[in-house]
């Protein structure tokens, strides 16, 4: 999961404090699948973030990050979408915060989904986007994929295993089988 | 559930045919809770239909009705919303058709939820509305209620028991407890 | 979807009547993914039905079938499980009938999910099995697969496209990514 | 939410540490509605915890508590059920950890759901119980209520507002309207 949220914490949680807290309790995250829908609500495209990675070349990831102290989940979703897709994305938040998935990333090596830095509990949402997106960080780009493209190895190979699970959960939840041509 | 959809069936399902079919298999329905949301996705109001009823005076009901042969659920939702809220309602259909509730109405007297005409399986959705609503039938009016008003006896007393369940399911699903002031 | 339920309809819905009804309204189905869980609720295996097929050799399919008139969904689930897995399967029905998926099979050629016989709306459930299963029909066998095996082409190639979607939805819903080794 | 989990944290999170962490990040909780089901999966009874309270007399609360660092959600559910209902409760964990509700308790006065000690994000589950329950703490007792009793003011008045919401969400999710006799 992206480190970008860290700087938003400002003076009240230094890197040292954050490291200490991460050793003591699970962190609450939101993982977001931004989608474009047609007027019937059918999925047209899914957004992933692209970033250069010294080790592996290109990497793709989901929008998302930490929920801050006393930050409602809805505000965390809006903040992370604005941070990653820009202020003109116009996300349509759903009427309920019941997630379509919850994924656990443990810091114990050998875990099904592993995060070396922390134990994170990610609450996952599919969020329709009505406006224009624009990468707000130099290091990042945004790419849109059809649901068929999301299943291609060249796309999934560049996503971390934990994010790939959430993407597949979203695709099947939206009715897009990996066997569909 | 409203009878309004019947006339949409046109020449290919006469009242006699419909009655015969209803005696043989369960009918697929969509029950819809139209809502207005603020920009964070928090519920501001819920729409109910008002109709005059010779026996009981005013009656309140949910938007919805039958799913027709070879009609996708998304199109049935759009058709019933347009029929009941007018063509300018601009509903925002969700990315997934997994419902927040399924309710069964049996035609067996004494059933928990009873429909004298038929066995109906109602697939239930909460649908945000972005446009303007206007009752498209003379006999109907549309009223918007806050989530607090939806729990008031004067509102719930005028809804059939089966529709009241779906409304309560929607309210609690959206985080609105009946004990909240 | 399997034809097995038809004979259960007994004298009150002849093949001719069923064919007439199918031309007029959508049919309500339940699609069931029977699973074995460990004591923590983690999935150990998924059951599929095997049947010989003159055209394609072996075919795999989900448990399920039609919901009958005035049959509650819970009873339809139990009836189809007993029919396909035998009377000692001891299914654990969930406290809620909100499905994890709804899938539409239209009888219009070219539909995403096509059923030549009918328009079916399938309400889909994952049902834990605690007892012993035994194919109750000569033409059928039951096979259990790990979640990894369910993603293998030799398994998915023998499932109809519409059932494969539901299986993939179940697997990802249970946290089993297709990329997991 | 109950304080009982605190002592389980053992030497690696002192009361001082816990207090510091709570001032810095949201805490992950599980809220659990233990239920007894009949063989069709229909709800027969709901368990609440009873405790004496110096201020308000009797108080009722949900089972649940904190998720510990690197503790999977399934293990946290099992641990809290064992702690509150005893080792012979035999809970049936669901195949999926997608919750039926997520509730946020903020430590900001005036919040819809308020927890003076912390910001908690509670992931909520309905868990069927197959065995025998026995209060494992002197201060606690367990009481079972029918779904009708759960709506009575004498029951709901003794539950904190935040827990009452989750109980109502569970009841309506299971098809039990507050208007049903």
- The residue of B28, B73, B112 whose CB has the most chain C CBs within 10 angstroms, and thus the best one to mutate to test that interface, is B28
pLDDT of C77 over the 80 cut: yes
| CB within 8 Å: A128 and B95 | yes
pLDDT number for residue A54? 63
The mean of the pLDDT values for chain A is 88
Is-contact A74 A68, C-beta < 8 A?
A: no
A7 or A122: whose pLDDT is higher?
Answer: A122
- Return the DSSP state at D173: H
Is-contact C94 C58, C-beta < 8 A?
A: no
Band the pLDDT of C1: cuts 50, 70, 90. Answer: very low
Q: What does B76-122 look like in DSSP terms, one character per residue?
A: HHHHHHHHHH-TT--B---S----SEEEEEBSSTT-SSB-TT--EEE
Instruction: Tell me the longest C-alpha to C-alpha distance in chain A.
Output: 51
| CB within 8 Å: A175 and B43 | no
Band the pLDDT of C107: cuts 50, 70, 90. Answer: very high
| Dist CA B117 CA A144 (whole Å) | 48
pLDDT number for residue D181? 39
pLDDT number for residue D55? 66
pLDDT number for residue C142? 94
The mean of the pLDDT values for chain C is 88
Supply angle C-alpha B7, C119, D174, rounded to 5: 85
Is-contact C100 C174, C-beta < 8 A?
A: no
Determine what percent of chain D is predicted with pLDDT higher than 90: 71
3-class DSSP state of A79: helix
Band the pLDDT of D41: cuts 50, 70, 90. Answer: very high
From chain D, the residues in CB contact with C30 under 8 A are: none
Those chains having 3 or more beta-carbon pairs within 8 angstroms of chain B are A, C, D
- The residue of A25, A67, A71 whose CB has the most chain D CBs within 10 angstroms, and thus the best one to mutate to test that interface, is A25
From chain C, the residues in CB contact with B17 under 8 A are: 24
Burial of C153 (0-12, 13-18, 19+ CB in 10 A): exposed
| CB within 8 Å: A40 and B174 | no
pLDDT of A131 over the 90 cut: yes
Those chains having 3 or more beta-carbon pairs within 8 angstroms of chain C are A, B, D
Backbone CA torsion sign across C9, B102, B92, C122: negative
| CB within 8 Å: B25 and C68 | yes
| CB within 8 Å: A41 and B98 | no
Mean pLDDT of B49-69: 86
From chain C, the residues in CB contact with D37 under 8 A are: 93, 95
Q: Identify the weakest region by mean pLDDT among A81-95, B163-177, C46-60, D86-100.
A: C46-60
pLDDT of D154 over the 50 cut: yes
| Dist CA D62 CA D31 (whole Å) | 7
pLDDT number for residue C13? 76
> CA of C158, closest CA in chain D: separation in Å?
25
State whether residue C40 sits within 8 Å of chain D by CB. yes
What are the tokens at A97? 């915060």
What residue has token string 């409760």? D89
Is-contact D115 D22, C-beta < 8 A?
A: no
Is-contact A145 A45, C-beta < 8 A?
A: yes
Mean pLDDT of C44-73: 89
pLDDT of C80 over the 70 cut: yes
* Minimal Cβ distance to C28: which of B28, B70, B107: B28
3-class DSSP state of A22: helix
Task: Render pLDDT for A57-76 as a digit per residue (tens, 0 to 9).
Answer: 788 999 999 999 999 999 99
pLDDT of C46 over the 80 cut: yes
pLDDT number for residue C35? 98
Band the pLDDT of C14: cuts 50, 70, 90. Answer: confident
pLDDT number for residue D6? 44
Task: Render pLDDT for D156-171 as a digit per residue (tens, 0 to 9).
Answer: 888 988 999 999 999 9
Q: What does D11-78 look like in DSSP terms, one character per residue?
A: GGS-HHHHHHHHTTSPEEEEEEEEEEE-TTS-EEEEEEEEEEETTTEEEEE-EEEEPPTT--HHHHHH
State whether residue D85 sits within 8 Å of chain C by CB. no
| Dist CA A128 CA A41 (whole Å) | 9
Band the pLDDT of B154: cuts 50, 70, 90. Answer: confident
Contacts of A74 (CB under 8 A, 6+ apart): A93, A97, B40, B41, B42
Mean pLDDT of A87-107: 97
Mean pLDDT of B143-159: 91
Band the pLDDT of C12: cuts 50, 70, 90. Answer: low
Contacts of C145 (CB under 8 A, 6+ apart): C45, C46, C47, C48, C155
| Dist CA D124 CA D30 (whole Å) | 6
State whether residue A153 sits within 8 Å of chain C by CB. no
State whether residue C98 sits within 8 Å of chain D by CB. yes
Mean pLDDT of C19-45: 96
Band the pLDDT of D5: cuts 50, 70, 90. Answer: very low
pLDDT number for residue D54? 64
Task: Render pLDDT for B63-93 as a digit per residue (tens, 0 to 9).
Answer: 999 999 999 999 999 999 999 999 999 999 9
Question: Minimal Cα distance from A22: which residue of D?
Answer: D69
For residue B57, CA distances in Å to B143, B158, B161 come to: 16, 9, 16
pLDDT of C180 over the 50 cut: no
From chain C, the residues in CB contact with A168 under 8 A are: 172, 177-179
| Dist CA C176 CA C162 (whole Å) | 19
Task: Render pLDDT for C128-162 as a digit per residue (tens, 0 to 9).
Answer: 999 999 987 666 799 999 999 999 988 888 898 89
Contacts of A54 (CB under 8 A, 6+ apart): none
State whether residue A44 sits within 8 Å of chain B by CB. no
Determine what percent of chain A is predicted with pLDDT higher than 70: 88
Rg value, chain D, Cα: 16
pLDDT number for residue C53? 65
| Dist CA C29 CA A59 (whole Å) | 42
Determine what percent of chain C is predicted with pLDDT higher than 90: 71
State whether residue A17 sits within 8 Å of chain D by CB. yes
A137 or B63: whose pLDDT is higher?
Answer: B63
pLDDT number for residue A138? 64
Contacts of C117 (CB under 8 A, 6+ apart): C22, C107
| Dist CA C81 CA C91 (whole Å) | 8
Band the pLDDT of A9: cuts 50, 70, 90. Answer: very low
pLDDT number for residue B31? 98
Mean pLDDT of D12-21: 84
pLDDT number for residue B3? 41
The helix or strand, by DSSP H or E, that contains position A21, with its residue range, turns out to be: helix A15-22
Q: What does chain C look like in DSSP terms, one character per residue?
A: --SGGGGGGGGGS-HHHHHHHHTTSPEEEEEEEEEEE-TTS-EEEEEEEEEEETTTEEEEE-EEEEPPTT--HHHHHHHHHHHHH-TT--B---S----SEEEEEBSSTT-SSB-TT--EEEEEEEEEB-S-----STTEEEEEE-HHHHTSHHHHTTB-HHHHHHHHHHHHHTT--TT--
Contacts of B80 (CB under 8 A, 6+ apart): B5, B30, B32, B63, B64, B65
* Minimal Cβ distance to C169: which of A165, A172, A179: A172
Contacts of C131 (CB under 8 A, 6+ apart): C88, C89, C90
pLDDT of A134 over the 60 cut: yes
If you count residue pairs, one on C and one on D, with CB atoms under 8 Å apart, how many are there? Answer: 57
> CA of A138, closest CA in chain B: separation in Å?
27
pLDDT number for residue B89? 96
Mean pLDDT of C104-120: 94
pLDDT number for residue D52? 74
From chain D, the residues in CB contact with B156 under 8 A are: 179
Among A160, A177, A82, which Cα is nearest to A122's? A160
| CB within 8 Å: D74 and C126 | no
Q: Identify the weakest region by mean pLDDT among A135-139, A149-153, D78-82, D163-167.
A: A135-139
pLDDT number for residue D2? 37
pLDDT of A56 over the 70 cut: no
Determine what percent of chain A is predicted with pLDDT higher than 90: 71
Determine what percent of chain C is predicted with pLDDT higher than 70: 88
Question: Minimal Cα distance from A36: which residue of B?
Answer: B95
Question: Minimal Cα distance from D116: which residue of A?
Answer: A70
Q: Residues in chain A, how many?
A: 181
Backbone CA torsion sign across A33, B131, A98, C74: negative
Band the pLDDT of B7: cuts 50, 70, 90. Answer: very low
pLDDT of A52 over the 90 cut: no
pLDDT number for residue B81? 96
| CB within 8 Å: C95 and D43 | yes
Q: What does A118-161 look like in DSSP terms, one character per residue?
A: --EEEEEEEEEB-S-----STTEEEEEE-HHHHTSHHHHTTB-H
Mean pLDDT of D134-150: 87
Is-contact D99 D169, C-beta < 8 A?
A: no
Question: Minimal Cα distance from B33: which residue of A?
Answer: A95
Q: What does D138-159 look like in DSSP terms, one character per residue?
A: TTEEEEEE-HHHHTSHHHHTTB
| CB within 8 Å: A92 and B92 | yes
Contacts of D175 (CB under 8 A, 6+ apart): B103, B112, B165, C96, C97
Supply angle C-alpha D131, D134, D135, rounded to 5: 140
| CB within 8 Å: A175 and B96 | yes
State whether residue D109 sits within 8 Å of chain C by CB. no
């Amino acid at each position: 999961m992206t480190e970008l949220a860290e700087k938003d914490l400002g003076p009240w949680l230094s890197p040292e404090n954050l490291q200490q807290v991460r050793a003591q309790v699970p962190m609450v995250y939101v993982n977001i699948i931004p989608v474009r829908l047609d007027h019937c609500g059918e999925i047209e495209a899914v957004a992933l973030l692209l970033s250069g990675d010294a080790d592996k070349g290109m990497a793709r990831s989901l929008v998302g990050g930490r929920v801050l102290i006393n930050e409602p989940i809805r505000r965390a979703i809006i903040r992370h979408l604005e941070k990653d897709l820009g202020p003109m994305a116009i996300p349509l938040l759903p009427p309920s915060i019941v997630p379509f998935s919850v994924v656990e990333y443990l810091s114990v090596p050998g875990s099904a989904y592993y995060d070396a830095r922390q134990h994170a509990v990610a609450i996952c949402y599919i969020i329709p986007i009505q406006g224009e997106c624009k990468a707000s960080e130099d290091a990042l780009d945004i790419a849109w994929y059809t649901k068929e493209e999301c299943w291609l190895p060249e796309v999934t190979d560049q996503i971390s295993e934990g994010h790939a699970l959430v993407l597949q959960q979203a695709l099947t939840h939206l009715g897009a089988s990996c066997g569909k041509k």
